[in-house]
Amino acid sequence: MIGLAAYLAIPQNHYIVRALIFQHVNIDDYKIFNNRTVKAGVAEPWRMHPQYNTYQLSDEQLNYFKDFRTVAFLVIKDTSLLFETYWDGYGTDSYSNSFSMAKSIVSLLIGCALDDGYIKSVDEPIANYLPEFKDGDKSKITIKHLLTMSSGLSWDEAYSSLFSLTTQGYYGNDLAKLVLYQHVVDEPGKIFEYRSGDTQLLSIIIERATGKTLSEYASEKLWTQIGAEHDALWCLDHKNGIEKAFCCFNTNARDFARFGQLVLNGGKWNGKQIVPAEYLSEALTPASYLYDPETKKNVDFYGYQWWMINVDNHKVWYARGLLGQYIFVIPDLNAVVVRLGHLRNNHRIDGTPEDVYKYIQFGIDIAKSSVTNDK
């Protein structure tokens, strides 16, 4: 693997060279990027469930995990660690890229900024914070439009193209320039179109409103508040630059699960309200007034940078990343499930990757087994 020094020696405007060298994004890419530390506070290790790791994975489950190169699978039940297993040399302390699960973290930070008074309302024009959007159709875009992926902006999400804005955002060195000078292609607030650029704009709003880096604000409002055991790393577009907010929050499975537990708790941790309950309720409500061109129906699967689905009559909220990174929250089972790995099953069922259903079902089976064994 090319080292950080060699990577940075490539001329900064040659993001395509960098993309060609690596060809495929990797869960360990924090090693080739500059990072900013998201500092942890006082660690709160998970309690061990009385049935910890007594569940035996079936051959079907093991084969599915193997086929998609899973490195971690973990289940929290009743605020205790019920099950965890690791593969491919990864363990409890191993870092992994969140990929787009970071979008859900940014959404939580918007809620915190609202609570702190840095942001007045999700219905505000983003031009109140980003003067680059004060003219023309761009002036109509609100924070809610960014949260619900309905900005109507010109971001190109094509992962397979070397020339897409997503590729430039991942390997390039000037994210602000990429996102601040887009143009409007659709009327804001009408169509759901997944855009990493929308999340990046949210992060710049947070930075300008708070006067803090995204990592500093994440440490202050979330990471030190939810008992993280390790500092996290957030990849930057260049040394001392801005966080790749649409992706690239790096930590381990146990600490990723804390975001799920926070959501499961209604935004509270140890009885303290961390994310406003009203905001979180909105974030976990589908933006059903938006039309989704892929499924050709109104949105019933996305709120404020959080996904939602029903599996086996269980309502589930979740964060998801490009290579099958998932944090699943299953309220009626009081459970959180985390899956990390190298591959995602890209076969889709009604617009949703097939493995979403599989991992949720595996998590449901494990969570329910603990109840059965207690009887």
Q: Which CATH number belongs to the domain containing residue 293 in this structure?
A: 3.40.710.10
Closest CA relative to residue 148, chosen from 185, 189, 120, 111 = 189
**Which of the four pLDDT bands, split at 50, 70 and 90, describes residue 22?**
very low
CB 295 within 8 A of CB 350: yes
E strand or H helix at 273? strand 272-273
CB atoms within 10 A of CB 225: 19
pLDDT of 280? 98
CB 98 within 8 A of CB 108: no
Distance, CA of 224 to CA of 301 (rounded, Å) = 30
Closest CA relative to residue 194, chosen from 236, 234, 147 = 147
Tens of pLDDT, residue by residue over 195-242, are 999 999 999 999 999 999 999 999 999 999 999 999 999 999 999 999
Separation of first and last alpha carbons in the chain: 51
* Total-model pTM: 0.94
Host domain of residue 283: 4-374
Query: What are the DSSP E strand ranges found in the chain?
Result: 35-38, 47-48, 70-77, 80-86, 96-97, 232-235, 249-251, 268-269, 272-273, 291-292, 297-298, 307-311, 314-320, 326-330, 335-341, 348-349, 352-353
**Domains in the chain, number:** 1
Closest CA relative to residue 198, chosen from 208, 190, 210, 188 = 188
Distance, CA of 228 to CA of 251 (rounded, Å) = 10
**Which of the four pLDDT bands, split at 50, 70 and 90, describes residue 373?**
low
pLDDT of 311? 97
E strand or H helix at 170? helix 165-171
What would the mean pLDDT of 294-298 be, rounded to a whole number? 95
pLDDT of 9? 54
pLDDT of 2? 53
121 phi/psi in degrees, rounded to 5: -160, 150
E strand or H helix at 62? helix 59-67
Give whole-number Cα distances, 10 to 15, 163, 167, in Å.
8, 18, 16
Helix and strand tally (H, E) in the chain? 12, 17
- Read off the DSSP letter of residue 258: H
Distance, CA of 304 to CA of 144 (rounded, Å) = 8
What sign results for the dihedral spanned by CA atoms 357, 223, 90, 53? negative
Closest CA relative to residue 336, chosen from 250, 237, 226 = 226
What would the mean pLDDT of 15-22 be, rounded to a whole number? 47
Has residue 12 got a pLDDT over 80? no
